[in-house]
């Protein structure tokens, strides 16, 4: 082979080697650039999720968007099975939820975790109350409720809109707020617990039942206790049985209704049966067809629950939901001895224990904790009262 040919081949080999090196360098640069882009995207995503208000993501509440209570002193930490309690905290009723939680916590040694569902503008006030009072020993999680979640699900009738309180629907979304819990208790804010909440949590639910409620009709164990306590104690008091959508369900109008102010929920079964989706379906249908009774006097959350849980719910011991204390004449209906023996008292009705005209306000006063920010005052109390 001639010298010139060998030189030509060597030059070609050198060129090929240089090209391969360039290709390898380009691939390395591309890989580095790709990794940088991925890292930046992950960082941007993390910043987005933890942006200005990490608790408020419209339409969705996720575990990492909740704010947990500060670290407790080791000697104050309660152990054992967790009892998740879901309760709402409206700014204008913040003293009520504080009294309710205090009564739950002080009457039990159980490992209670309060999941407090509230609006964004109430968080700071709530946190001061939780950290600057005797409640600083309590385990809690603050969850922001976004009203956008209810778009298309509640009436747009201006005459009825004022009565719609977004937080009242929080009970529909319990599995979303506490996705890891298998069982939970929901409590209205106008309650006082006098028994050990562990007993209520241990309520046995029948197989296939996602929730237990307290029935409104008289029962053998409650005869004479709830008789005449309210005008609505059956389905016809809550639903319009003239509407076709209600007729098709085949429900009996005189079926005993129940009160959803206290719920013991099997959240595993709740999720399996898609209870939340079912409730939203009936909310949307009502917004379109006005399915609820024209004489509906109280909670607009009750009708969809009555439909979804028709003859498919377990019962709560009546002493764990003694209600209608906020109704006219409650002071004459219940004896002081009976009220003292009740495990849970519920001031459902127009007259609340922090107002002027309610019955058995002394029971509520026992658990009320003065607002450290001095914004909330029971109406009958002076600003300096404790």
263 neighbors 315 (Cβ within 8 angstroms): no
Q: State how far the Cα of 66 lies from the Cα of 87, in Å rounded to an integer.
A: 14
Q: What are phi and psi of 290, to 5 degrees?
A: 55, 70
In degrees, rounded to 5, the angle at the alpha carbon of residue 158 between the alpha carbons of residues 289 and 280 is 45
Nearest to 209 by CA among 264, 282, 279: 264
Per the prediction, the chain carries an average pLDDT of: 82
DSSP 113-125: EEEEEE-GGGHHH
Q: Beginning with the edge strand found earlier in the chain, give each strand of the sheet holding 139-144 in spatial order.
A: 67-68, 139-144, 111-118, 82-89, 183-187, 258-266, 211-215, 314-315
Cα–chain center distance at 296: 23
**pLDDT level of residue 16 (50, 70, 90 thresholds):** low
**pLDDT level of residue 331 (50, 70, 90 thresholds):** confident
Residues 244-268 have a mean pLDDT of 96
Residue 325 has pLDDT above 70, yes or no: yes
Q: State how far the Cα of 310 lies from the Cα of 292, in Å rounded to an integer.
A: 15
Residue 9 has pLDDT above 90, yes or no: no
- Tokens 């506490």 locate to 178
55 neighbors 68 (Cβ within 8 angstroms): no
Q: pLDDT tens for residues 39-79?
A: 554 444 344 333 333 333 333 444 334 567 676 656 567 88
As beta bridge partners, residue 67 has: 142
Q: State how far the Cα of 129 lies from the Cα of 372, in Å rounded to an integer.
A: 6
Residue 122 has pLDDT above 50, yes or no: yes
198 neighbors 110 (Cβ within 8 angstroms): yes
In the chain, % helix, strand, coil (3-state, to 5) comes to 45, 15, 40
Considering only CA atoms, give the Rg of the chain.
Answer: 29
Nearest to 291 by CA among 316, 275, 308, 277: 308
Is 37 strand, coil or helix? helix
**pLDDT level of residue 270 (50, 70, 90 thresholds):** very high
Q: State how far the Cα of 140 lies from the Cα of 150, in Å rounded to an integer.
A: 25
Share of the chain above pLDDT 90, in %: 62
Residue 386 has pLDDT above 80, yes or no: no
Q: pLDDT: is 38 or 206 the higher one?
A: 206
Query: What pLDDT is attached to residue 384?
Result: 40
Q: pLDDT tens for residues 335-372?
A: 999 999 999 999 998 899 998 788 999 999 999 999 99
Residues 256-272 have a mean pLDDT of 97
Query: What pLDDT is attached to residue 385?
Result: 40
Across 52-66, 83-97, 274-288, least confident range: 52-66
Residues found in the chain: 386
Q: State how far the Cα of 318 lies from the Cα of 334, in Å rounded to an integer.
A: 14
- Residue 195: CB partners within 8 Å, gap ≥ 6? 107, 319, 320, 343, 344
Q: What is residue 263's DSSP assignment? A: E
Q: pLDDT: is 244 or 53 the higher one?
A: 244
Architecture of domain 83-226+258-366: Alpha-Beta Complex (3.90)
DSSP 224-249: TTSTTS-S--BGGGTB-TTSHHHHTT
Q: State how far the Cα of 339 lies from the Cα of 289, in Å rounded to an integer.
A: 41
Residues 272-301 have a mean pLDDT of 89
Domain assignments of the chain as residue spans, ordered by start:
83-226+258-366
In degrees, rounded to 5, the angle at the alpha carbon of residue 343 between the alpha carbons of residues 363 and 69 is 80
Nearest to 163 by CA among 154, 171, 176: 154
Query: What pLDDT is attached to residue 56?
Result: 35
Residues 173-195 have a mean pLDDT of 97
Query: What pLDDT is attached to residue 313?
Result: 98
Residues 315-331 have a mean pLDDT of 91
């Amino acid at each position: 082979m001639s010298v010139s040919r060998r030189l030509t081949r060597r030059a070609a080999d050198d060129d090929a080697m240089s090209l391969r090196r360039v290709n390898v360098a380009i691939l390395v640069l591309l890989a580095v650039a790709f990794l940088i882009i991925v890292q930046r995207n992950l960082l941007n995503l993390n910043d987005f999720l933890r942006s200005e208000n990490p608790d408020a993501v419209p339409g969705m509440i996720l575990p990492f968007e909740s704010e947990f209570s500060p670290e407790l002193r080791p000697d104050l930490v309660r152990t054992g099975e967790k009892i998740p309690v879901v309760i709402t905290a409206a700014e204008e009723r913040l003293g009520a939820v504080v009294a309710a939680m205090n009564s739950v916590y002080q009457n039990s040694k159980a490992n209670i975790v309060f999941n407090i569902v509230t609006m964004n503008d109430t968080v700071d006030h709530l946190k001061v109350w939780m950290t600057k009072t005797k409640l600083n020993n309590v385990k809690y999680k603050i969850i922001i409720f976004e009203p956008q979640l209810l778009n298309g699900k509640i009436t747009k009738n201006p005459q009825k809109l004022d009565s719609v309180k977004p937080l009242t629907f929080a009970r529909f979304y319990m599995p979303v707020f506490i996705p890891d819990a298998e069982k939970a208790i929901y409590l209205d804010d106008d309650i006082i617990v006098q028994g050990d909440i562990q007993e209520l949590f241990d309520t046995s639910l029948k197989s296939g039942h996602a929730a237990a409620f307290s029935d409104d009709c008289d029962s053998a164990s409650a005869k004479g206790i709830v008789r005449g306590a309210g005008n609505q104690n059956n389905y016809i008091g809550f639903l319009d049985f003239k509407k076709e959508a209600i007729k098709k369900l085949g429900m009996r109008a005189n079926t005993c209704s129940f009160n959803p102010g206290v719920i013991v929920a099997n959240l595993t079964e709740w999720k399996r049966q898609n209870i939340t989706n079912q409730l939203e379906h009936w909310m949307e249908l009502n917004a379109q067809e006005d399915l609820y009774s024209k004489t509906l006097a109280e909670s607009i959350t009750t009708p969809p629950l009555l439909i979804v849980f028709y003859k498919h719910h377990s019962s709560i011991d009546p002493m764990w939901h003694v209600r209608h204390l906020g109704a006219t004449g409650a002071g004459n209906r219940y004896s002081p001895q009976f009220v003292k023996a009740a495990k849970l008292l519920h001031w459902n009705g127009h007259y609340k224990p922090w107002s002027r005209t309610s019955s058995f306000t002394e029971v509520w006063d026992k658990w009320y904790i003065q607002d450290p920010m001095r914004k909330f005052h029971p109406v009958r109390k002076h600003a300096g009262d404790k």
